[in-house]
Amino acid sequence: MATTTNKQKKVTFSKEQQAHMQKATWLSLIPGLGQFYNKQIFKGVIFLIIFALFVFQMLFSGVHALNGLITLGSTPREDHSLFIMIQGAMQLLLILIYAIFHLVNMVDARKVAKQSILSPDTVSHTPTQLLKNVWNNGFAYLLTVPAYILMIFTIVFPVLVTIFIAFTNYDFYHIPPATLIDWTGFETFKSIFTLSTYRDTFGAVFGWTIIWTLSATTLQIVVGIFCAIMMHQPFVKFKRIFGVILLLPWAVPAFITILSFSNIFNDSAGAINTQVIPLLNHLPLVDIPMISWKTDPFWTKIAIISIQGWLGFPYIYVLTSGILQSIPDDWYEASVIDGANALQKFRYITLPQIFAVAAPVFVTQYTFNFNNFSMIYLFNGGGPGSVGSGAGATDILISWIYKLTTGTSPQYNIASAITLIISAIVIFVSLLVFKQTKAFEMED
């Protein structure tokens, strides 16, 4: 529909011609009329039908749905607040999509009017011409439609509903259809930050989430880079075998290894306490007692961070290996002539090169661990102990959300509000880095 006109030379239009374009644009305030004015009857009819369908839908159910979104129902047991909310959300999306169509329609009318002045022959009037035109210019849109439909359903819409629920009182006291749900404004956010029970839990969980994200991811990156540098040394033999072994933690599905580790770290019967520690104690001067991996929060945290290092380093290792191979040898040779030692070579050549290429990937690793539910939940269920409001000592925000949603007394609104807070943090940090690394700058 929207034709991509390449940057044309500046053409000055006469007053009449400008009036012609203006008229087409304004007429298409009612979709179709502008197209009729441009003598595109077929297109005009289609646009008019879409417009009529939208008006029809608005009158017969749209207004009702929007009204429901404001009240969220009035009679308990009859009105299901959640369904009313969802219908309202759908209506909003529909209106948004229509608004885009409306805008496109006006831009189209103006473009065609301009086209009819500059090169009247290229304007399509008959249905066949139109269809051909649509096929040529709309092919790209056609290709993206499936992706968009799926995304609207599984990303845009859930985000919208999450935002809505965060501003309601949807919890175990208010379960529709028995009771109605009401808008409560910023109450939920207020209670997270001011109500002592939630505030303390949020503080504790958030603090640990940050410590966990930073330490686990940094461990992953350091071990990954170190392995890559070790393997890159030319004298290393059996590179293939070591290469396969180093990739194994990535190849085996994570949930399997986490559950295995969960068992291996068992306090009384696990292999670490019954096999590894006794073995280490054979060494001179080493005497380690049994460690309460699952019942002492400190040791659980140590275990979780180490296991994530184990799980996540191969990815960094593979990436870094690729980068190391691309650093030209003469850079190192030149630095040796200048008298650089191994550490200086690493500090001033290797490390900057790695970061230049892999920095965005490192950031995605941090955001991944920020939301690494499996690691936390499958190892020890977020436990041991409790820091209030259902959260255990090793729960991170996302596993706390899971518990708030699935527990015996679900707090859907709190969970949704925390989801929004998480998303805001992740998006903010990612944007900051993507801006730095110029991922937003496109090729044209």
Partner 1 sequence: MKTAKKYKTQKNQRFWTKFWTYLFLLFISAVILYPLLITVTSAFKAGNLMAFRLELNANWTLDSFKRLFTDTMYGQWYLNTLVVAITSMLVQVAAITLAGYAYSRYRFAGRKQTLKFFLLVQMVPTTAALTAFYVMALLIGGLDQHWFLILVYIGGGIPMNTWLMKGYFDTVPLDLDESARLDGAGHFRIFWQIILPLVRPMIAVQALWAFMNPFGEYMLARFLLRSQKNYTVAIGLQTFISNPKNQQVTLFAAGAILIAVPICILFFYLQKSFVTGLTAGGTKG
Map the footprint of partner 1 across residues 331-370, applying CB under 8 A: 357, 360-361, 367
User: Does residue 178 bind partner 1 (CB under 8 A)?
Assistant: no
Of 68-76, 162-170, 213-221, 388-396, the segment contacting partner 1 by CB under 8 A is 162-170
User: Does residue 270 bind partner 1 (CB under 8 A)?
Assistant: yes
What is the nearest approach in angstroms of partner 1 to the Cβ of residue 440? 7
Q: Which residue of 33, 109, 113, 319 would you call a contact of partner 1, by CB under 8 A?
A: 319
User: Which residue is listed with tokens 């189209």?
Assistant: 108
**Two structure tokens written together for 384:** 């041991």
Q: Taking CB under 8 A as the criterion, which residues in 92-111 touch partner 1?
A: 107
What is the nearest approach in angstroms of partner 1 to the Cβ of residue 390? 14
Q: Which residue of 22, 61, 74, 260 would you call a contact of partner 1, by CB under 8 A?
A: 260
Total residues at interface with partner 1 (CB under 8 A): 100
Question: Is 12 or 269 the residue whose CB approaches partner 1 more closely?
Answer: 269
- From first CA to last CA, the distance across the chain in angstroms is 22
**Two structure tokens written together for 221:** 């990156």
User: Does residue 289 bind partner 1 (CB under 8 A)?
Assistant: no
Question: Is 135 or 348 the residue whose CB approaches partner 1 more closely?
Answer: 135
Site string for partner 1, 61-90 (x = CB under 8 A): ---------------------xx-xx----
CA angle 368, 369, 371 (to 5 degrees): 75
**Two structure tokens written together for 323:** 């980068």
Q: Which amino acid is at 400?
A: W
- φ, ψ of residue 65 to 5 degrees: the values are -65, -40
Q: Compute the Cα dihedral for 349, 353, 356, 358 and give only its sign.
A: negative
Q: For residue 76, give the 3-state DSSP assignment.
A: coil
Q: Taking CB under 8 A as the criterion, which residues in 117-156 touch partner 1?
A: 135-137, 139-141, 143-144, 146-148, 150-151, 153-156
Count of Cβ atoms closer than 10 Å to residue 102 Cβ: 18
Whole-angstrom distance, CA of residue 168 vs CA of residue 401 = 16
What is the nearest approach in angstroms of partner 1 to the Cβ of residue 177? 11
Question: Is 21 or 165 the residue whose CB approaches partner 1 more closely?
Answer: 165
Whole-angstrom distance, CA of residue 283 vs CA of residue 379 = 29
What is the nearest approach in angstroms of partner 1 to the Cβ of residue 173? 15
1-36 burial, b if ≥16 CB within 10 A, otherwise e?
Answer: beeeeeeeeeeeeeeebeebbebbbebbebbbbbbb
User: Does residue 283 bind partner 1 (CB under 8 A)?
Assistant: no
What is the nearest approach in angstroms of partner 1 to the Cβ of residue 441? 8
User: Does residue 280 bind partner 1 (CB under 8 A)?
Assistant: no
Q: Which residue of 17, 129, 266, 386 would you call a contact of partner 1, by CB under 8 A?
A: 266
Query: Do the beta carbons of residue 27 and residue 34 sit within 8 Å?
Result: yes
Q: Taking CB under 8 A as the criterion, which residues in 383-422 touch partner 1?
A: 398, 401-402, 405-406, 412, 415-416, 419, 422
Question: Is 67 or 364 the residue whose CB approaches partner 1 more closely?
Answer: 364
What is the nearest approach in angstroms of partner 1 to the Cβ of residue 120? 22
294: Cβ contacts below 8 Å, ≥ 6 apart = 265, 266, 267, 300, 380, 383, 384
User: Does residue 271 bind partner 1 (CB under 8 A)?
Assistant: yes
Query: Do the beta carbons of residue 301 and residue 328 sit within 8 Å?
Result: no
